[in-house]
């Protein structure tokens, strides 16, 4: 039995590291505590409870989590610190011994946080650990971010069955699972009812949707497309072997799905893709890009790439660089390979030194800059629909077109969370966005 009086007049601060899925889950944890009367801390306010949702995609991510936890402990002295997320699931004992940590919750327990907070008394030595083995993670916990943003992140899937050689995510989040289409539609309707205009579908491997309910990803997006009140959906990162031609065709003719794709390539070398244990080759990836551009020439395509993986020789990297250069894509997200304990990649010979990793990363970032600049340039002078956001910087506000071009305009509160047709007039001063003129 939960003693709800413990939460009366309490203040909580929330910290999220890592992916958009984490942001959605942190938002849900916040709602759970708010229902018990826990108020979110205002800027500069000392909190009674601190919830830290962590990432563990790289060794650097682990380090950032440790630093953040220690910093939060100093900012909120005496607060009850709860740590959850991927780092907490993978290394719970290590996390429990970070100074100030009182409770460590695994992936299966994070959204049942109320059950484990007890009396909120600080622990003398080491935080309590409540975490299941990865093989026992079975629950799909619905989550949808609902912070002060125009954009909402709807969790449609969790976990992964792929076990790529370099990745720890299946160990941190468990097997692939999802909610029902009906439950996703209901959450989208709630977002619309609350005034939300844009939803990003998020998860660990969202193209695998349906594993636990016998449904399919294409059926999911068809159903969501019928929800009135949502102006647009975006599909977050989706594996190239799971974004079907049928789904691409549907997005092209849909009412609400944006011509915006984020597709992880990870390497443009077929030899490296085999070492990574990816489930596609460069020929399939090229087909997906060409299919999208054939029917949606204006589509924005973001691509994830990892440099410096074990086994990536100079020749393999040159194959990858040339392949990436040849693709009609809009932007690269470049990551340097990080050794992760327990992964099969550690058995691969040929380790890439840090200096080479950095040089390769810079080459791909230069390609990304050129491609993004060319994509924006190609749209100058055209009309577009922009959904404006709350963000206010230096007297300017920003928004995004359907195909993810960032635009800038003098701040006008009446435009927040509103869609307007604009003309894309040209670059702003620092070339980070396009200046627009609203068509009256």
Q: What is the pLDDT of residue 125?
A: 78
Measured distance CA(60)–CA(68) in Å, rounded: 12
Measured distance CA(17)–CA(1) in Å, rounded: 31
The rounded mean pLDDT for the chain is 94
Q: What is the mean pLDDT of residues 305-332?
A: 98
Which of the four pLDDT bands, split at 50, 70 and 90, describes residue 5? confident
pLDDT tens readout for residues 158-179: 999 999 999 999 999 999 999 9
Q: What is the pLDDT of residue 390?
A: 83
Measured distance CA(129)–CA(198) in Å, rounded: 37
Q: What is the pLDDT of residue 121?
A: 85
pLDDT tens readout for residues 388-433: 998 777 899 999 999 999 999 999 999 999 999 999 999 999 999 9
The token pair that represents 248 in the structure block = 């691409």
Q: DSSP string of 38-96? A: PEEPPTTPPPSEEEEEE--SSHHHHHHHHHHHHHHHHHSTT-EEEEEEHHHHHSHHHHH
Q: What is the pTM of this model?
A: 0.93
- Closest alpha carbon to 204 in 404, 30, 68, 18: 18
Q: What is the pLDDT of residue 391?
A: 77
Q: What is the pLDDT of residue 149?
A: 65
Exposure letters 35-66 (e unless 16+ CB within 10 A, then b): eeebeebeeeeebbbbbbbbbbbbeebbebbb
Q: What is the pLDDT of residue 147?
A: 59
SS (H, E, C) 380-409: CCCEEEEEEEEEEECCEEEEEECCCCEEEE
List, edge to edge, every strand of the sheet that includes 198-202.
151-155, 198-202, 232-235
Which of the four pLDDT bands, split at 50, 70 and 90, describes residue 440? low
The token pair that represents 440 in the structure block = 């009256």
pLDDT tens readout for residues 82-138: 999 999 999 999 999 999 999 999 999 999 999 999 888 888 778 899 999 988 898
Q: What is the pLDDT of residue 6?
A: 83
Q: Which residues pair with 13 in a beta bridge?
A: 50
Measured distance CA(418)–CA(430) in Å, rounded: 25
Which of the four pLDDT bands, split at 50, 70 and 90, describes residue 3? low
Collapsing DSSP states into helix, strand and coil, what is residue 230?
Answer: coil
pLDDT tens readout for residues 330-374: 999 999 999 998 999 999 999 999 999 999 999 999 999 999 999
Q: What is the pLDDT of residue 8?
A: 85
Strand ranges in 203-337 using DSSP code E only, listed in sequence order: 232-235, 260-266, 300-307, 331-336
Give percent of the chain with pLDDT exceeding 70: 98
By the 8 A CB rule, do 277 and 328 touch?
Answer: no
In the predicted structure, residue 1 carries a pLDDT above the cut 60 = no
Measured distance CA(261)–CA(299) in Å, rounded: 8
Radius of gyration of the chain (CA): 22
pLDDT tens readout for residues 17-27: 999 899 999 99
- Closest alpha carbon to 114 in 226, 33, 225: 33
Residues 6+ apart with CB under 8 A from 411: 392, 395, 396, 397
| Helix extents (H) in 156-281 | 169-173, 181-193, 217-224, 245-253, 270-276
By the 8 A CB rule, do 399 and 387 touch?
Answer: yes
Q: What is the mean pLDDT of residues 182-199?
A: 96
Collapsing DSSP states into helix, strand and coil, what is residue 178?
Answer: strand
Q: What is the pLDDT of residue 2?
A: 61
List, edge to edge, every strand of the sheet that includes 331-336.
260-266, 300-307, 331-336
SS (H, E, C) 156-176: CEECCCCCCCCCCHHHHHCCC
């Amino acid at each position: 039995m939960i003693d709800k009086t413990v939460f009366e007049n309490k203040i909580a601060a929330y910290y999220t590291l890592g992916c958009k899925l984490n942001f959605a889950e942190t938002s849900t944890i916040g709602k759970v505590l708010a229902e018990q009367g826990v108020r979110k801390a205002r800027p500069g306010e000392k909190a009674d409870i601190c919830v830290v949702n962590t990432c563990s995609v790289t060794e650097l991510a682990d380090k950032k989590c440790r630093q953040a936890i220690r910093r939060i402990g100093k900012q909120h002295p005496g607060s009850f610190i709860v740590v959850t997320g991927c780092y907490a699931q993978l290394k719970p004992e290590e996390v429990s011994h970070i100074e100030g940590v009182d409770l460590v919750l695994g992936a299966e327990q994070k959204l049942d946080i109320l059950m484990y907070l007890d009396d909120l008394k600080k622990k003398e030595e080491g935080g309590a650990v409540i975490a299941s083995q990865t093989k026992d993670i079975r629950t799909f916990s619905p989550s949808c971010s609902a912070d002060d943003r125009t954009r909402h992140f709807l969790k449609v899937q969790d976990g992964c069955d792929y076990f790529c050689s370099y990745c720890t995510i299946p160990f941190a989040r468990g097997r692939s699972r999802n909610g029902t289409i009906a439950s996703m539609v209901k959450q989208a309707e709630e977002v619309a009812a609350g005034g939300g205009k844009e939803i990003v579908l998020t998860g660990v491997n969202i193209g695998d949707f349906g594993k636990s309910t016998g449904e399919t990803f294409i059926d999911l997006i068809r159903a969501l497309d019928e929800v009135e009140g949502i102006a647009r959906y975006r599909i977050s990162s989706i594996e190239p072997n799971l974004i079907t031609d049928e789904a691409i065709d549907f997005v092209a003719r849909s009412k609400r799905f944006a011509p915006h794709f984020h597709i992880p390539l990870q390497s443009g070398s077929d030899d490296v893709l085999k070492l990574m244990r990816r489930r596609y080759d460069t020929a399939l990836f090229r087909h997906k890009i060409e299919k999208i551009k054939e029917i949606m020439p204006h589509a924005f395509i973001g691509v994830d790439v990892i440099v410096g993986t074990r086994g990536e020789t100079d020749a393999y990297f040159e194959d990858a660089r040339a392949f990436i250069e040849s693709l009609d894509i809009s932007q690269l997200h470049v990551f340097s390979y990080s050794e992760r304990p327990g992964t099969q990649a550690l058995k691969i010979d040929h380790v890439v030194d840090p200096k080479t990793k950095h040089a390769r990363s810079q080459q791909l970032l230069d390609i990304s800059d050129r491609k993004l600049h060319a994509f924006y340039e190609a749209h100058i002078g055209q009309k577009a629909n922009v959904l404006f956001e709350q963000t206010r910087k230096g007297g300017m506000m920003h928004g995004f077109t359907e195909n993810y071009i960032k635009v800038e305009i003098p701040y006008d509160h009446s435009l927040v969370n509103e869609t307007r047709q604009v003309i894309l007039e040209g670059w702003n001063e620092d070339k980070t966005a396009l200046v627009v003129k609203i068509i009256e």
